[in-house]
Structure 1
Amino acid sequence: MLDYDLVVIGGSPAGIYAAVKATNSNARVALVASPLFGSTWSESSSKYNKSLCYIGKVARTLEDAAIFGWSEKEQLNRSLEFGETLKWAKGIVASLDENYSPAVLASLGVDVIFGEGEFCRHATDIAFAVKDQYLRSRKYLIATNSTPVIPEIDGLESAGYLTPDSIWQLANVELPKSLIVIGNDPVGVELAQTFSRLGTKVSLVVSSSRILAKEDEEAALLIQSQLEAEGIQVFTEYNVTQVRWLQDKKWIQAGNRAIDADEILIATEFQPHTTALNLDAVGVKCNSNGIIVNSKLQTTNHRIYACGDVLGGYRFPHIANYEAQIALKNLLRFPVSQVDYRYIPWAILSDPELARVGLTEAQAKRRYADVLLTRRYFKMVDKAQIRGEITGFCKVITRANGEILGAHIVGAEASELIHVFALAMQQKLKIKAIANLTPIFPTLSTINCQTAADWQSYHQFQNSSKPNFWEGFLNLVRSWFN
Structure 2
Amino acid sequence: METIKTDICVIGAGSGGLSVAAGAAQMGAKTVLIEKGKMGGDCLNYGCVPSKSLLAAAKRAQSFRSGEAFGIKAQEPVVDFAQVHAHVESVIAAIAPNDSVERFEGLGVKVIQAAARFTGPRTLEAGGYEITARRFVIATGSRAAVPPIRGLGDVSYLTNETLFELTECPTHLLIIGGGPIGMEMAQAHKRLGAEVTVIEAGKALGKEDPEFAGIALTALRREGVTIHEERGAEKVEKTASGIAVTLAGGERVEGSHLLVAAGRTPNLEELGLEEAGVDYERSGITVDARLRSSNKKIFAIGDAAGGPQFTHVAGYHAGIVIRNALFRLPAKADHTSIPRVTYTDPEIAHVGETEEEARARYGRVEVLRWPFAENDRAQAEKQIEGMAKIVTDSHGRILGASIVGAHAGELLQPLVLAKANGLKVSALASAVVPYPTLTEVSKRAAGSYYTPTLYSMKTRLLVRFLRLFG
Q: Same fold (TM over 0.5)?
A: yes
Contact kept? 1:308, 1:319, Cα under 8 Å = yes
Contact kept? 2:290, 2:330, Cα under 8 Å = yes
Which of 284, 289, 305 is 2:283 aligned to?
289
Contact kept? 2:12, 2:41, Cα under 8 Å = no
SS at match of 1:367: helix
SS at match of 1:37: coil
The separation in 2 between residues aligned to 1:459 and 1:234, in whole angstroms, is 44
Shift of 1:458: 2.8
The separation in 1 between residues aligned to 2:4 and 2:310, in whole angstroms, is 33
The separation in 2 between residues aligned to 1:51 and 1:118, in whole angstroms, is 34
Shift of 1:455: 1.4
The separation in 2 between residues aligned to 1:2 and 1:130, in whole angstroms, is 11
Contact kept? 1:2, 1:138, Cα under 8 Å = no
Where do residues 63-102 of structure 1 align in structure 2 (5 Å cutoff)? 63-72=65-74, 75-76=75-76, 78-102=77-101
Find the counterpart in structure 2 of residue 276 from structure 1: 270
Alignment pair present for 1:366 and 2:360: yes
Shift of 1:50: 1.3
The separation in 2 between residues aligned to 1:119 and 1:97, in whole angstroms, is 29
The aligned amino acid for 1:147 is R
Where do residues 247-258 of structure 1 align in structure 2 (5 Å cutoff)? 247-255=240-248, 256-258=250-252
Contact kept? 2:286, 2:306, Cα under 8 Å = no
Where do residues 383-398 of structure 1 align in structure 2 (5 Å cutoff)? 383-398=377-392
Moved more, 62-71 or 231-240: 62-71
Alignment pair present for 1:215 and 2:216: no
Shift of 1:145: 2.3
- CA deviations 1:11-44 (Å, max 9, x no partner) are 111111111111232111110001x327978752
The separation in 1 between residues aligned to 2:180 and 2:42, in whole angstroms, is 23
The separation in 2 between residues aligned to 1:446 and 1:239, in whole angstroms, is 41
Shift of 1:312: 2.9
The separation in 2 between residues aligned to 1:183 and 1:40, in whole angstroms, is 22
Where do residues 139-158 of structure 1 align in structure 2 (5 Å cutoff)? 139-158=135-154
Alignment pair present for 1:4 and 2:6: yes
The separation in 1 between residues aligned to 2:101 and 2:127, in whole angstroms, is 17
Contact kept? 1:2, 1:136, Cα under 8 Å = yes
The runs of 5 or more residues in structure 2 that have no matched partner are none
Alignment pair present for 1:304 and 2:298: yes
Shift of 1:330: 0.9
CA shift in 2, pair 1:397/1:40, >3 Å: closer
The aligned amino acid for 2:105 is A
Contact kept? 1:435, 1:456, Cα under 8 Å = no
The aligned amino acid for 2:151 is G
CA shift in 2, pair 1:442/1:160, >3 Å: same
The separation in 2 between residues aligned to 1:269 and 1:41, in whole angstroms, is 14
Shift of 1:314: 4.5
Contact kept? 1:11, 1:42, Cα under 8 Å = no
Contact kept? 2:287, 2:293, Cα under 8 Å = yes
- CA deviations 1:129-166 (Å, max 9, x no partner) are 11221111110000002111111222223221101221
Shift of 1:274: 0.9
SS at match of 1:277: coil
Find the counterpart in structure 1 of residue 46 from structure 2: 45
Which of 236, 239, 245 is 1:246 aligned to?
239
CA RMSD of aligned residues (A): 1.8
The separation in 1 between residues aligned to 2:458 and 2:138, in whole angstroms, is 58
The separation in 2 between residues aligned to 1:331 and 1:471, in whole angstroms, is 64
Find the counterpart in structure 2 of residue 472 from structure 1: 465
The aligned amino acid for 2:38 is F
Shift of 1:10: 0.7
Contact kept? 2:292, 2:298, Cα under 8 Å = yes
Contact kept? 2:176, 2:261, Cα under 8 Å = yes
Alignment pair present for 1:445 and 2:439: yes
Find the counterpart in structure 2 of residue 168 from structure 1: 164
Which of 130, 137, 143 is 2:133 aligned to?
137
The separation in 2 between residues aligned to 1:460 and 1:109, in whole angstroms, is 61
SS at match of 2:315: helix
Contact kept? 1:146, 1:273, Cα under 8 Å = yes
Contact kept? 1:296, 1:335, Cα under 8 Å = no
Percentage identity across paired residues of the two chains: 30
Find the counterpart in structure 2 of residue 118 from structure 1: 117
SS at match of 1:373: strand
The separation in 1 between residues aligned to 2:320 and 2:460, in whole angstroms, is 48
CA shift in 2, pair 1:108/1:429, >3 Å: same
Alignment pair present for 1:345 and 2:339: yes
Contact kept? 1:12, 1:145, Cα under 8 Å = yes
Where do residues 369-448 of structure 1 align in structure 2 (5 Å cutoff)? 369-448=363-442
Shift of 1:315: 2.9
CA shift in 2, pair 1:50/1:94, >3 Å: same
The runs of 5 or more residues in structure 1 that have no matched partner are none
The separation in 2 between residues aligned to 1:42 and 1:158, in whole angstroms, is 28
Find the counterpart in structure 2 of residue 127 from structure 1: 123
The separation in 2 between residues aligned to 1:461 and 1:106, in whole angstroms, is 64
Contact kept? 1:293, 1:306, Cα under 8 Å = yes
CA shift in 2, pair 1:314/1:57, >3 Å: farther
Contact kept? 2:4, 2:130, Cα under 8 Å = no
TM-score by length of 2: 0.95
Find the counterpart in structure 2 of residue 23 from structure 1: 25
The separation in 2 between residues aligned to 1:299 and 1:471, in whole angstroms, is 66
Shift of 1:199: 1.3
Where do residues 313-328 of structure 1 align in structure 2 (5 Å cutoff)? 313-328=307-322
The separation in 2 between residues aligned to 1:54 and 1:43, in whole angstroms, is 16
Shift of 1:341: 1.1
How many residues of Structure 1 are paired with residues of Structure 2 in the alignment?
A: 466
The aligned amino acid for 2:302 is G
SS at match of 1:165: helix
Shift of 1:258: 0.7
The aligned amino acid for 2:110 is D
The separation in 1 between residues aligned to 2:196 and 2:329, in whole angstroms, is 49
SS at match of 1:16: helix
The separation in 1 between residues aligned to 2:308 and 2:88, in whole angstroms, is 23
- CA deviations 1:190-235 (Å, max 9, x no partner) are 0011111111111111111x21111111111111111111111111
SS at match of 1:396: strand
Contact kept? 1:195, 1:202, Cα under 8 Å = yes
TM-score by length of 1: 0.93
The aligned amino acid for 2:297 is R
Find the counterpart in structure 1 of residue 450 from structure 2: 456
The separation in 1 between residues aligned to 2:7 and 2:242, in whole angstroms, is 55
